[in-house]
């Protein structure tokens, strides 16, 4: 797992583990290297409550494709523009894999997320 700068292309942080290790668990270790005002970009494997909160705890922001299991209704919550709104995500009831119950309990009970629908860029 590698965290690199989209500005310079330099490797900022890297994690190496055995094949049986989870990509998510390694990614969560790398969050410790984020600093205030960093923006992390990752795929939908990270588009969940836990990862958004862990990134925000570092003072950074995240751009993740939302997990396909989470449904969105743009008619609800605080609308910012067409296909752009803020919603409240609640902490999961079940403890996710790669986390202990104590780690889950330490997270806030809810989190405000900005959801943007379909950013298209050709090419």
- The pLDDT value recorded for residue 102 is 94
Using a 10 angstrom Cβ sphere, with 0-12 exposed, 13-18 middle and 19 or more buried, the burial of residue 84 is: middle
- Please say if the pLDDT value at position 8 is more than 80: yes
- The pLDDT value recorded for residue 91 is 93
Tokens linked to 20? 């049986």
Distance between CA 53 and CA 17 in Å, rounded?
24
Residues 6+ positions from 25 with CB-CB distance below 8 Å: 17, 98
Residues 6+ positions from 102 with CB-CB distance below 8 Å: none
- Please say if the pLDDT value at position 106 is more than 70: yes
pLDDT digits (tens, 9 = 90+) for 67-89: 777 777 766 777 777 778 888 88
Q: What is the mean pLDDT of the chain?
A: 85
């Amino acid at each position: 797992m590698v965290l690199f700068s989209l500005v310079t292309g330099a490797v900022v942080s890297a994690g190496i583990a055995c094949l049986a290790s989870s990509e998510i668990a390694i990614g969560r270790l790398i969050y410790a290297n984020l600093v205030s005002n960093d923006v992390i970009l990752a795929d939908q494997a990270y588009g969940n409550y836990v990862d958004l909160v862990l990134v925000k705890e570092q003072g950074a922001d995240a751009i993740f494709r939302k997990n396909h299991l989470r449904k969105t209704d743009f008619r609800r919550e605080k609308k910012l523009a067409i296909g752009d709104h803020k919603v409240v995500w609640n902490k999961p009831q079940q403890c996710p894999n790669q986390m202990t119950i104590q780690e889950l309990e330490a997270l806030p009970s809810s989190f405000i997320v900005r959801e943007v629908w379909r950013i298209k860029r050709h090419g």
